[in-house]
């Protein structure tokens, strides 16, 4: 399962890869199709599965991506599966976003990459907290089951 799914237009791959690398540096399990897809799988099915299983949806919003049919499909999938959607704007304005995404709080990274770092750090901290809580719950369940056997 990926914590983060990155949606982008093919022409913006370098920026998407930079975001992916930033996520990796923060130990955020991230899906970026060219890097994350295993060879031999039906890529459309795998992308849909990874989208379904992610918690966060980062939409790299550029002139290219707002025109991309593939990105529009991914946004639709994120909306129907109630992902936490964060538009990452580069050289476009919030009013340029597709209507179904424009009401999500996003971050404009054009000339201010520090804002994206803040967002990724927040995701990283939330994921660490969630994993600690899951570990505590599993530990408590294990103790409960052990005590129940006695």
46-96 residue pLDDT tens: 788 888 899 999 999 999 999 999 999 999 999 999 999 999 999 998 889
For residues 112-120, give the mean pLDDT: 80
Hey, what's the torsion of the CAs at 69, 74, 89, 3, to 10 degrees?
A: -160
Determine, yes or no, domain membership for 137. Answer: no
Determine, yes or no, domain membership for 139. Answer: no
State pTM to two decimals.
0.80
Strands (E), the chain: 4-7, 30-31, 56-61, 84-89, 107-108
Identify which of 53, 74, 78 has the alpha carbon closest to the alpha carbon of residue 1: 53
Determine, yes or no, domain membership for 145. Answer: no
Look up the CATH number of the domain holding residue 34: 3.40.50.10140
pLDDT at 133: 45
Number of domains in the chain: 1
* Best-predicted range by mean pLDDT (34-38, 49-53, 128-132): 49-53
Determine, yes or no, domain membership for 138. Answer: no
Domain extent at residue 28: 4-125
Q: In this model, does residue 119 exceed pLDDT 90?
A: no
Strands (E), 4-140: 4-7, 30-31, 56-61, 84-89, 107-108
Secondary element (H or E) of residue 3? none
The token duo for 74 is 């991914």
CA-CA-CA-CA torsion sign (31, 35, 38, 43):
positive
For residues 15-21, give the mean pLDDT: 93
The token duo for 32 is 């970026």
Give the percent of the chain with pLDDT over 90.
Answer: 41
pLDDT at 127: 67
Give the percent of the chain with pLDDT over 70.
Answer: 81
Q: In this model, does residue 121 exceed pLDDT 60?
A: yes
Local structure of 87: helix, strand or coil: strand
CA–CA separation, 86 vs 21, rounded Å?
17
Q: Which residues contact 150 (CB under 8 A, 6 or more apart)?
A: none
């Amino acid at each position: 399962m990926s914590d983060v799914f990155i949606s982008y237009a093919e022409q913006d791959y370098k920026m998407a890869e930079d975001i992916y690398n930033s996520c990796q540096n923060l130990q955020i399990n991230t899906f970026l199709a060219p890097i994350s897809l295993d060879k031999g799988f039906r890529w459309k099915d795998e992308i849909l599965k990874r989208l379904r299983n992610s918690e966060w949806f980062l939409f790299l919003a550029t002139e290219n991506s707002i025109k991309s049919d593939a990105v529009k499909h991914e946004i639709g999938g994120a909306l129907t599966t109630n992902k936490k959607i964060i538009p990452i704007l580069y050289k476009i304005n919030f009013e340029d976003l597709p209507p179904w995404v424009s009401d999500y709080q996003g971050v404009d990274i054009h000339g201010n990459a520090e804002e994206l770092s803040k967002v990724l750090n927040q995701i990283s901290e939330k994921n660490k907290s969630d994993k600690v809580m899951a570990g505590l719950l599993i530990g408590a369940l294990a103790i409960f089951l052990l005590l129940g056997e006695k």
